[in-house]
Structure formats: C-alpha cells, structure tokens
Amino acid sequence: MAFALPLWLAVQKELLEQTHADPTCFDQFDDGALFLVFHLTRPCIAFITDAVRIRLKKMDSKNGELCADEMVMVALNYYAHGVSSPDLLLRAGQSQADCPEILSTVSEVLAGMSDAFISFPLFHNAKNSVASRIEKFCGIPNALGVLAPAHFRIRASPYEKERFRSFLNTLGFTSVSSQLICDSDGNILSVEKCCVGSMYEEDMWYSSIKGKEMEEEVHGPFWVIGGKGYNLSKHVLTPVAEPANEKEIRFNEAHTKIQKVMRKTLGSMKWRFRCLMQLGFANDGSLDKKSNIIKACCVLHNVAKKFSVPPPPVAGKIEPLHPSKMRTVPAEIIPEALKARQEIIDDKFSSSFSSQDTSNQDTEEDA
C-alpha cells in the first residue's frame, strides 16, 4: 500500500459527504471531456485540488491572483499532455508565458506531498504485507519492493560536450534519472535522486536515502529486488548472471516477472502523464525543478491508483527498463550475500512446482 488505509477511508468519506460542493473551474467539463483533458476522473481531481489548495494557502505564491483550482487545472493539463492547451489557458485567463511559474508552484506543492502519499513500509505489519504479496506474485520472499532507475528524456545542448555527455544514457539519448521502488501492485513506495542520465545505478543506490537505510539495517532482514546494474548485497537481490541449473533459471524467471511490474508501472505513468516523455531542456542547475515534476507525477500516479482511475484511451508500447550501465571492473560480491541468495534459490525454486506461469502475463504486457 502506498499510504495507510485509514487515510483513504477518511478521504472517501469526505468526498461522499461533499454533496453540496462549491462550483469549480472543472465543472465546465463533462466527465468524458474531463478525462481526455486531464487523464484523471472527477473524484480524483477533486481530491488533488483540495489537497493542493490547503498547501497553497501556506505558501507565498507569485500567482496570488489565480485561484488554486485554475492553477491545478493548468498543471494537470500539462502533466497529461506535455503541453498546455491554448483553449484551456484562455479559460483560465492565462497565457503560455504564465505556464512555467504555475507549473513550478504546483509541482513544488505536489512534490512536497510525497511524504504523505509515497510511503515505504516502515512498521512490521506493513513490511510483512508488502513482502507476502511479492512472494505470492513471483515466489521471492522477504522483498520490500522492486528497485530501478527511471529515465526521462530531456534536451541538452550538444555544443556543451561535457554536459551533454553527462546526460547521455545507455540507450543513447539524453535523460535525467530518478531512483524508484514499487510494490507488486505498481504502487510507488519511494522516489528520490534526480540525476544525470549517465549515472551508475549502483552509485545512485548507495548515495540515496533509502539505499543508506537498507544497507545500515534500518529496515531489518529484507531485500529490494534490483537488476543487473546493481551489485548483489545483503539488501539488493540481483539475478544470477550465468544460471547453471533449472532452479537458478526458475529464480531468474521469477526475478524477471517482478521486474516487469516496474516496467509496467513506469509505462502507465508515462502514458497518463505525457510530460514525462520529454521534460524539456535541462542543465545541472535545473535538476530540482525536473525532480519536482517527476515526484509530482509519482504522487498523482499513486492517487490515481487509489481512485481506480483507468488508463488513458490511447496507449503506446511499454518502454523497456534501461540496459544497465556496467562497470569495466565488476565489484567484488560479498560471500554472505551469495549465500543468502542461494538459500532462497534452494528453498523456493528447487522444484518445478514452485515456478510461476508467466507466459500469458508477458504476452499481455508486451502487446
């Protein structure tokens, strides 16, 4: 769960009780048009707008003459399509020149809500719940989530060669990257570290808050499941590089199955929030603003899932997880970590009965 059930029960109760809610700028859209313009449903938008409005009152906003509803309307439209609709701006009484400041303000507010709406399991029951759902899904026990770098395209000037190269990722385009952890249902549990696209996953992990917490045993004897770009450690579970038998092959298949959840999660985010397909120009000094947009969309993703908002009507092919950026000299693997992974393989994947049938799901996800 991305955030506590009592909070959602309170939210649903409050929404149901708002039978005489004040009119908003979203009322000018019928439900179908609302979804096409914002890729969200009316109850979901109402909740988001209320949450932003409360927080905007505490900020010294430069958009004081623009009401919170109109600011959210402009920002949500941008998130959904990557551009601001001229017609919508006209309705809000704004111009394209006003968009960057509105987007910056709303993104900062939403990113500031990440502590409330993006939560890594902290307590014993929550950890066991996340881990048991992952084990039921793929057979791997004691895992608190799937770890991966998420790449988002940006533009960088090729004339500034050093800066351009720093943003160049393994697929050959310029990007910024954030470290994400999700659960088996696609809820985002952690997002941090907006970095240049060339950064090694391993460096991102060990310099991140969540990486330091896990490696310092703050979260106990649990794993996160990471791809080949990470080193096998006491708390990062990677696939077997060269499987030598059937049980290691079955373990790798289970590992791939749960990694595909992250791939699908990132795909659904980019379909719903097309701004993530291209975040515009970037330099080292603009990473905080890019980070706020990414965190804002992660918050909105979790909120949309809690409100069971369907995907947008037009969706593309799911973008693959990026090939890992491998070091020329492999890191030394800790023997205790190898032993722990082998114990999982021997205990959970020794028999063919333990393997999961993923053929139907793979076909569906790759369609």
What does residue 334 show for φ and ψ, rounded to 5 degrees?
-70, 125
Q: Which of 53, 86, 116 is the last residue of a domain?
A: 116
Name the one residue in this structure whose structure tokens are 């905007």. 56
Residues 225 and 196 in one domain: yes
Residues 280 and 198 in one domain: yes
Q: Domain range holding 139?
A: 124-284+310-325+334-348
Residues 129 and 34 in one domain: no
| pLDDT per position as a tens digit, 107-154 | 999 999 999 999 999 999 999 999 999 999 999 999 999 999 999 999
Half-sphere exposure at residue 199, Cβ-oriented, CA atoms within 13 angstroms: 22
Residues 54 and 132 in one domain: no
- Give the count of domains, the chain: 2
Residue 305 maps to a domain: no
What does residue 271 show for φ and ψ, rounded to 5 degrees?
-70, -45
Residues 150 and 43 in one domain: no
Decide if pLDDT at 16 tops 50.
Answer: no
Residues 28 and 65 in one domain: yes
Cβ-based neighbours of 138, under 8 Å, separated by 6 or more: 184, 254, 255, 257, 258, 356
What's the pLDDT score for residue 342? 96
Residues 201 and 321 in one domain: yes
Residue 296 maps to a domain: no
Could you give the CA distance from residue 77 to residue 110 in angstroms, rounded to a whole number? 15
Instruction: Calculate the CA 117 to chain-centre distance.
Output: 12
- Return left, alpha or beta for 321; rule: phi > 0 is left, psi -120 to 50 is alpha, else beta: beta
32-41, 56-65, 70-79, 131-140 — which is least confidently predicted? 56-65
Between the alpha carbon of residue 54 and those of residues 49, 59, 113, 278, the distances in Å are 9, 10, 11, 30
Between the alpha carbon of residue 287 and those of residues 157, 178, 195, 255, 291, the distances in Å are 15, 11, 7, 32, 6
Average pLDDT over residues 236-248: 95
Q: What is the CA radius of gyration of the chain?
A: 21
Half-sphere exposure at residue 43, Cβ-oriented, CA atoms within 13 angstroms: 18
Q: SS3 of 199, please? A: coil
Residue 109 maps to a domain: yes
Decide if pLDDT at 292 tops 80.
Answer: yes
Residues 87 and 144 in one domain: no
Residues 93 and 222 in one domain: no
Which residue in 215, 224, 250, 94 sits closest to 147, CA to CA?
A: 224
Decide if pLDDT at 39 tops 70.
Answer: yes
Could you give the CA distance from residue 228 to residue 319 in angstroms, rounded to a whole number? 18
Residues 137 and 264 in one domain: yes
Residue 356 maps to a domain: no
Could you give the CA distance from residue 195 to residue 70 in angstroms, rounded to a whole number? 31
Helix (H) or strand (E) holding 196: strand 188-196
Could you give the CA distance from residue 166 to residue 164 in angstroms, rounded to a whole number? 5
Residues 55 and 194 in one domain: no
Residue 67 maps to a domain: yes
Q: Is the pTM of this model over 0.85?
A: yes
Residue 221 maps to a domain: yes
Decide if pLDDT at 63 tops 60.
Answer: no
The two tokens of residue 103 are 């987007």
164-178, 262-276, 324-338 — which is least confidently predicted? 324-338
